[in-house]
Every structure is written in C-alpha cells, then in structure tokens.
C-alpha cells in the first residue's frame, strides 16, 4: 500500500521540464535527405548489374537513333553476290538471304522494336493506371464496369485480340501500336486497382481526407505514388512482352511490313537458315534477349530503390 | 486508488474542480442528440444513438468506453467522414455556432483540417511513406490557405519547433520511415494544429506509443491547448490518460452516453455501474488479487440491443425496472449526469455518495 503511487503515471514521477521534452532521436544518421533521383543514383552506384543494364539500354537506344552514322550500308539495298555471306570485315554479322547487311538491318530493326516496346506499353499503362485508380477508389458501379471490361479483354488470348485489331486496321506499325495498347491496359488496371484498394484503407488516406484534401488529389497525389513500385515491375514485364508480341505479329505478317524490319521479323525470316547460317537468327534473338534482360535488371533495381516498404 | 490517479495532476489543475462554472463558458462544440446509423444487410446498426456532447472553449474533453461503443463514429460524424453504409440520421452538430450536419461536400472539405482536425492512433500508417513529412504538413496549409511554398515551409518549421521536434529545419525533408514513433506522432500533431483549428479530435493518440512517450505527447497536447484556442476531444479507453489531461469526461456504452462529469467528480464519485466496472478493471499494483476484475459479458451486438437499459445484462446492480425501460440521463448536480435508475431519486439534488 505504501509505495503504490510509484507505479502510476503522474507528474510527480516525471522530470519537471516535461513542458518541452527532448524528443527521442534514434535515426539521426539516416537524415541525409535524399530525393527520388538521389536514391536511383545511389542504387546505380551500388547495384552493378542494374548500372550495366542501364548502360546497355542507353547504348541500344542511341545505336537505333544514330543508325545511319554507324553503318555504311542501306538497310534495304539488296546485293545478290553477298547473299547469305558469313560474317566478315565488311559485313560484321554477314548478309541475309537477299544480300542485305545483317548488322545494318539489326540497327534499323532496333528502332521499330524499341518504339514498339516503349510507346504502346506506356500508352496502355497510362490508360490502365487511370482506370485502375478510378475502379479501386470509387468502387461500386464504376468498378464493376471497368473490371468487367478488363475481364473481357483478358478472357481473349491477347495475341488473337491484337491480331483482330491490327487486321481491321490494315497492318503496319501504327496498327500494332493501337492493337497492343488495346489489349495491354487490362492487366495494369487490375494490378493498380488491387493496390488502390489496399492503399485506400491506409490511415494516411483517411488523414488526408480529414485535412480536407480533394478526392482527385488523394487519388493522384497520395495513392498513385504508392503504386509506383508495382508500375515499375509491370513496365519491366510489359516492355519485353510487347517486343515479343510484335515479333509474333510480324511473323504472322500483320506487324512490321517488309522491307522495313524489326527484331522479331528478322528472327522469323531467318528461321529457315537456322542450321546452315545460324548467326542470322541468333543475332536478333540475342538482341531481344539482352534488351529484355537489361530492362528486367534495371526495373528490379529501381523498384528496390523506390519502394518505401522495402526499406530496411 | 482512483483518487491517486487524479491527484497526481499539477496543482493548478485542481482549480478545475469547479468545472461547473467552466461549462458556462462559450461552447466550441455542441452535439445534440446525434444519431449515426449503419444500414447493413442484416439491419440497422445504431452505432451512435442520441449522443449529446458539449465541449466548452479551451477544454480537453475525454470520451471513454470499450471498443465498439461508438466513440470513433461520433468523432467521424463531426467530420462527416463516416464510411458507407453509415449515415448521420438525426441530431445536430454545432461547431462554434455553425451547423455541420447537412453541409455540402465542398463546405465540409473547407472545415476539415481547417476548423476541425484529427490525430489518428497509428503514427506509423497515418503518414504517406512516399512524401517527406514537411511536404505533408505543408499540404495541410496549402489546402486551406493561399500561401506560397516558402511561406508554408516557414510555418511548418515553426510548427515543428512548437511541437518539440528537434532540428526542425532538417526534419522538414525527412521521410516518415526515418522518424521514430514519438516523432511521427508529433508530426501528426503539427499537421493537426498547423491551421489552428477550433477543435482537435485525438482518436487514441497514444495507444501505439510506449508510456514515457505517451506522457510527453499528452503534455504536449495539453500545452498546445493552453496556448491556443483549440479545444480537444480525446477518444481513449485508457482511464489513466483521462486522469492525466481531461477536464470533462463522457463515458459511452453501446452508442449512448452513460455518465458524464468533470474529471475529478467522475473519479471521486463514480456513479454508473459501467464506469465503476471500467475503473475496477485497471490493474492495482497494491492489491494482491490474482485475477483482474472484468465486466462480465461482452458489448452487445448493436443489431440486437437488449430491452431496457443497454448495460442491464452485464450490470451487477440490475433491477427488474432496468430490463423494462431505458433510463434517462439523471442530473446528480455538480454537472454530473448518469444514465442509471439507481440515481433517479437523486435528480436535481446535490447528491453525495
């Protein structure tokens, strides 16, 4: 009974200067305030694989952009005497079945493949992100309509749907753009909707609401940045996939139209010579592999650097 | 024992013994007969069922009760952020003479964070992990005030200093994960106070913190309340916290106010059996009792409320009358009101136990 008061929290037991107490300070060394760009830079310095991937991607894009300066040959100029020539000093990767310089065509093909990889994917992901955000945030009827639409798109094999779209649009690169954008938004929408649903319940969203922040601001300024890690992973999956899809479509004659070319088209055109002249099919195949892998490694690195929940 | 809890408070607070007079002061918040019901598929859940609460200017008002008794719903009703299928079906909420029930979405947005702000329980999850804390507190200003970035920054840094965040300038650019729990809660308080609201709702602000930090945060809130014109509505289930900083206490049970009294009156002359139960459930280090006292039974399912007094199935003093009809709030004097038939006879008189 005598010492009962000691265990009870009251003023007498606490230091008298509690009016402005020294706030506890644990993570002082963590305080070098870094921005998003800083964090990516740090990541690139530490993660050699991601850094190498970044260099590879930049080099490939530059090579595609400056193709005319890197090769003396015309991409579409045939030369029957060089038909199926093996790699040599004049033709680094040899020549294809029409005597066109294979390296030159690979460079020009990079343009198409990189564009197909980046643009329709970006468009599809922007559409998917916005729709997913709306579906997740508002729920109810809006959610139902958007998600059933996504279900329909996902229910068809995406390649088949892309074929239908690009066939009705009479082939060509533009129609592939549209075809891929039309089928690729659904997956993004689903992932972002799921993420939005979980973010919506977080207390910081409730806190933003209690501060009187507008719904649209909450959606795009508070929830969307928290979906960024997911988006980056999706991007690294979608870009290679688009390149491969474009290859398939080109193979079926709906994609890039000869004489213009793309990596996928080159692989498939050179397939008949795989055993006698293997370098013809392998070179664009390796290009696809390197580009796709580089994107995956870089994407992983960036995700690790940005994801606030992966922080240790 | 309860007297000890209360008596531990600083001497100047004893003055508040005469909270009767304080209640006459201007009312910052007046909730009258508020009804917030949830329309579920199984039926209507009266989460808040005719609650009347008054908070005078510059006071800390506590709401206590078990989980699910409607404390948080009452708070969210003030902000009109009750999530579906909940809805305010009746009553009035006057904030500084301004009716909040029936305001449009846009009008309410103007009030949230500006005139009424909230501190949440979990400082870990109440801050957006992707933005610096400075930017988040700045947002609280820029949403309501026409100020430039630099000016907002200045105000935030000042606010950070006021809530005792060391090296405020540097913390401005810190991310939430770089701060400890106590610091994050200080940031939340800064966010809630930065627009100098008339009312700050603190929804279990110290539950996620350890006791030393809890004491710091409570004192900080008390100090801010004394310096500014902000009234505080403190939601908690911790009687110790109530004894620490509240002026007046409402005890809620199953969506209704069961007992209301100035804090010393409540601890010294506990009347309602439910309040007695709550106070007895606090571990007493002095007694060598093996088992902790608990109120028998559970909070009733609000879909199937018992007939008569809501507490009667769990009440040790329940009389036949209790199971027949619901008691009113009986005035026992000294600003003390109890919803229990035991005190029916005391009504109007200055009853003493």
Using a CB–CB cutoff of 8 Å, tell me whether A19 touches chain B. yes
> For residue B19, is pLDDT > 80?
no
Q: What is the pLDDT of residue B11?
A: 41
Highest mean pLDDT among A58-62, A117-121, B93-97: A58-62
Q: In whole numbers, what is the pLDDT of chain A averaged over residues?
A: 79
How confident is the model over B283-313, as pLDDT tens digits?
Answer: 777 777 667 778 888 788 888 888 888 888 8
- Contact across the interface for A18 and B219, Cβ inside 8 Å: yes
Sorted by where each begins, the domain ranges of chain B are: 1-103+199-306, 124-196
Q: Nearest-CA residue of chain B relative to A217? A: B143
* Lowest-confidence segment of A7-21, A40-54, A72-86, A292-306 by average pLDDT: A7-21
Q: In whole numbers, what is the pLDDT of chain B averaged over residues?
A: 82
The secondary structure of residue B306, as a DSSP letter, is: P
- pLDDT band, residue A8 (cuts 50/70/90): very low
* Preferred mutation among B178, B197, B288 to probe A, highest tally of A CBs within 10 A: B178
Return residues 205-264 of A near B (CB < 8 Å): 206-214, 222, 225-226, 228
- Strands B248-253 and B60-64 come out as parallel
Using a CB–CB cutoff of 8 Å, tell me whether B347 touches chain A. no
Domain A64-74+86-310: homologous superfamily in CATH: MetI-like (1.10.3720.10)
Using a CB–CB cutoff of 8 Å, tell me whether A25 touches chain B. yes
Q: What is the pLDDT of residue A125?
A: 93
Q: What is the pLDDT of residue B294?
A: 80
Sorted by where each begins, the domain ranges of chain A are: 64-74+86-310
Q: What is the pLDDT of residue A181?
A: 85
Using a CB–CB cutoff of 8 Å, tell me whether B109 touches chain A. yes
Separation in Å, CA of A212 to nearest CA in chain B: 4
- Contact across the interface for A207 and B178, Cβ inside 8 Å: no
Q: What's the whole-model pTM score?
A: 0.74
Fold for the domain defined by B1-103+199-306: Rossmann fold (3.40.50)
């Amino acid at each position: 009974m005598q010492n009962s008061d000691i265990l009870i929290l009251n003023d007498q037991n606490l230091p008298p200067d509690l009016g402005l107490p020294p706030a506890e300070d644990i993570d002082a060394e963590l305080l070098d305030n870094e921005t998003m760009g800083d964090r990516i830079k740090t990541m690139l310095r530490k993660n050699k694989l991601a850094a190498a991937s970044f260099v590879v991607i930049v080099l490939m894009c530059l090579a595609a952009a400056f193709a005319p300066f890197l090769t003396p040959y015309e991409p579409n100029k045939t030369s029957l005497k060089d038909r199926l020539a093996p790699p040599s000093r004049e033709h680094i990767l040899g020549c294809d079945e029409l005597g066109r310089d294979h390296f030159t065509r690979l460079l020009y093909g990079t343009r198409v493949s990189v564009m197909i990889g980046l643009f329709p994917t970006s468009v599809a992901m922007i559409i998917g992100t916005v729709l997913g955000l709306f579906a997740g945030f508002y729920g109810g009827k809006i959610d139902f309509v958007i998600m059933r639409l996504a279900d329909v798109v996902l229910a068809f094999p995406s390649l088949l749907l892309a074929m239908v779209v690009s066939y009705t649009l009479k082939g060509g690169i533009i129609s592939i753009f549209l075809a891929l954008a039309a089928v690729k938004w659904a997956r993004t929408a689903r992932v972002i909707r799921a993420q939005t649903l979980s973010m919506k319940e977080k207390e910081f969203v409730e806190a933003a609401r209690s501060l009187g922040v507008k719904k649209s601001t909450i959606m795009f300024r508070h929830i969307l940045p928290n979906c960024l890690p997911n988006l980056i992973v999706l991007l690294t999956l979608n870009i290679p996939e688009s390149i491969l899809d474009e290859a398939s479509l080109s193979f079926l004659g709906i994609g890039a139209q000869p004489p213009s070319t793309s990596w996928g088209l080159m692989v498939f055109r050179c397939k008949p010579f795989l055993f006698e002249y293997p370098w013809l099919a392998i070179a664009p195949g390796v290009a696809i592999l390197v580009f796709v892998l580089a994107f995956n490694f870089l994407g992983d690195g960036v995700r690790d650097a940005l994801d606030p929940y992966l922080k240790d | 024992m309860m007297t000890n809890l209360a008596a531990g408070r600083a001497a100047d607070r004893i003055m508040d013994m005469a909270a009767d007079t304080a209640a006459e002061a201007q009312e910052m918040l007046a909730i009258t007969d508020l009804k917030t019901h949830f329309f579920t598929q199984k039926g209507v859940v009266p989460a808040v069922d005719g609650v009347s609460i008054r908070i005078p200017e510059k006071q800390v008002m506590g709401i206590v009760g078990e989980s699910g008794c409607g404390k948080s719903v009452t708070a969210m009703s003030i902000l009109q952020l009750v999530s579906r299928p909940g809805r305010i079906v009746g009553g009035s909420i006057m904030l500084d003479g301004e009716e909040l029930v029936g305001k449009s979405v846009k009008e309410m947005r103007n009030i949230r964070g500006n005139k009424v702000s909230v501190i949440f329980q979990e400082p870990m999850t109440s801050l957006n992990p992707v933005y610096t804390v400075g930017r988040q507190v700045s947002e609280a200003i820029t949403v309501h005030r026409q100020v430039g970035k630099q000016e907002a920054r200045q105000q935030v840094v000042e606010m950070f200093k006021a809530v005792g965040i060391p090296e405020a300038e540097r913390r401005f650019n810190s991310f939430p994960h770089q701060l400890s729990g106590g610091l994050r809660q200080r940031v939340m308080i800064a966010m809630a106070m930065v627009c100098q609201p008339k009312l700050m709702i603190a929804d279990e602000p110290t539950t996620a913190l350890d006791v030393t930090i809890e004491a710091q945060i409570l004192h900080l809130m008390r100090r801010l309340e004394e310096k500014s014109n902000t009234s505080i509505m403190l939601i908690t289930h911790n009687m110790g916290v109530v004894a620490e900083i509240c002026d007046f206490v409402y005890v809620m049970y199953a969506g209704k106010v069961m007992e209301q009294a100035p804090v010393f009156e409540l601890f010294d002359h506990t009347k309602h059996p439910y309040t007695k139960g709550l106070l007895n459930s606090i571990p007493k280090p002095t007694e060598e009792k093996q088992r902790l006292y608990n109120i028998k039974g559970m909070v009733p399912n609000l879909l199937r409320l018992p007939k008569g007094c809501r507490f009667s199935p769990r009440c040790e003093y329940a009389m036949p009358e209790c199971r027949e009809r619901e008691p009113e709030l009986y005035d026992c004097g000294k600003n003390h009101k109890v919803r229990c038939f035991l005190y029916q006879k005391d009504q109007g008189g200055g009853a003493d136990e």
